[in-house]
Amino acid sequence: MSRGQVLNGRIRLGVVVASAALGWLADPGQALACPSCYGGAEGPMIDAARLGIGLLLGVTLGVQGAFVAFFLYLRRQARRANDRALDAEWSRLQHAHDRAWRNA
C-alpha cells in the first residue's frame, strides 16, 4: 500500500467514526442518564446534588487556576533570571571593550 492509500483509509475511518458519534449523540432517546438527572425532578436531594456538583467544579477549577498561575510565575521568574544573566554578560563585554579602547 502506498502512503496516500493509507492516509485516505485513515481519513475515511475518521469520517465514519465521527458520523456514528454524531448520530448517536443526536438521538435524545439514547441519553444515558437516570430519570432524576435527565427529567425535571425537584426536591432537596436534587438541590443538594446540584450544589455538590457546583462545589466540585469550583474546587477543580480553582486548583487548575492555581497550577496555571504557578507556571506563569515560573515563566516570569525564568525570564527575569535570563534577563539578569544577559545584562551581566553585556555589562562584562562593555567593560572589556572600554578597557581595550583605553589601552589602545
Please write the tens of the pLDDT for every residue from 30-55. Answer: 456 666 565 666 778 888 888 999 99
**Average pLDDT value for residue range 15-35:** 68
* Mean pLDDT score across all residues of the chain: 78
Percent of the chain with pLDDT over 70: 64
Please tell me the predicted confidence (pLDDT) of residue 31: 53
Please tell me the predicted confidence (pLDDT) of residue 90: 78
Separation of alpha carbons 23 and 104, rounded Å? 82
Residue with cell 496516500: 4
CB neighbour burial string for 30-39, b if at least 16 within 10 angstroms, e if fewer: eeeeeeeeee
